[in-house]
Amino acid sequence: MACKEYPLLIPAGDYRLSGFVHKPPGFPPLVVFFHGFTGHKIENGRLYVEIARALCKKGIGSLRFDFRGHGESPLPFEEFRLDYAFEDAEKVIEYVRKELSGDFDVTRLGIMGLSMGGAVAINIVAKDKGIKAIALLSPAINFRETSMKKAIEHQFNLKFFYWGPFRLKTKCLESFNVDLTNKAERISVPTLIIHAVDDETVPFKQSEVFFERLRCKKRFVKIDRGGHVFYTYESRTRVIKEVVEWFLTNIKSI
């Protein structure tokens, strides 16, 4: 039987978040995807679609969704706060365990995050002991040392912070003034980090420091050329391969 793919709306407080499920036959484990800042459940160059389908072929399900203010989910982007992503992620995990337990083995639950989504994944797994494995792609760990640094430090006298075609209310930037490095010691599950050396959005060094502080089963994949979102075919192919192998080993086989 082929993998099933279908959309759904996920209740999250007063909101309904736009999601998409990939389900292989049987009673498979599940990986929940967290996207990046200004991103969405498809992600740049369809990266999340490709990873989800590759996982599905190997018998692992996935749920991709849009945070508030992103993709097809409600809330104007300019009102988005990092706290909202943290809250949405917890609501989605809660929903998965309650509503999808008939279709997926939610005792074998993994999570994956790209950039800001990496921060969300770290925040979740540092306190949720039911997560079995995580994968972090170009994770934003210390927002004070990312491409948002100048905005966080110097633009509070302006009404809006402009990010390409997007704008964010400057007061919302305060929520990004965080550093999650110290949460490394609180992570006990297998952790994969993939980061490109030439990332100009989130410094590669952040992942190196975080990886060294982890005290769990771990793997660090260094990509020489791929930028923040793995824009080359070679880097993207490597990312998909590494992620699939990681979850096969750490949630499919347990």
Q: What is the pLDDT of residues 16-67, one digit of tens each?
A: 999 999 999 999 999 999 999 999 999 999 999 999 999 999 999 999 999 9
* Domain of residue 29, residue span: 4-252
Looking up residue 137, the CATH number of its domain turns out to be 3.40.50.1820
Using one digit for the tens of pLDDT, what is the confidence trace for 100-140? 999 999 999 999 999 999 999 999 999 998 999 999 999 99
Cβ neighbours, 10 Å, residue 225: 12
> For the chain, give me the number of helices (H) and strands (E)?
6, 10
DSSP sequence for 179-217: B-GGGGGG--S-EEEEEETT-SSS-HHHHHHHHHH--SS
Whether pLDDT at 234 is above 70: yes
pTM of the predicted structure, to 2 decimals: 0.96
Domain count, the chain: 1
Whats the size of the chain, residue-wise?
Answer: 254
State the residue for tokens 């991709």.
64
DSSP string, 212-237: HH--SSEEEEEESS-TTTT-SHHHHH
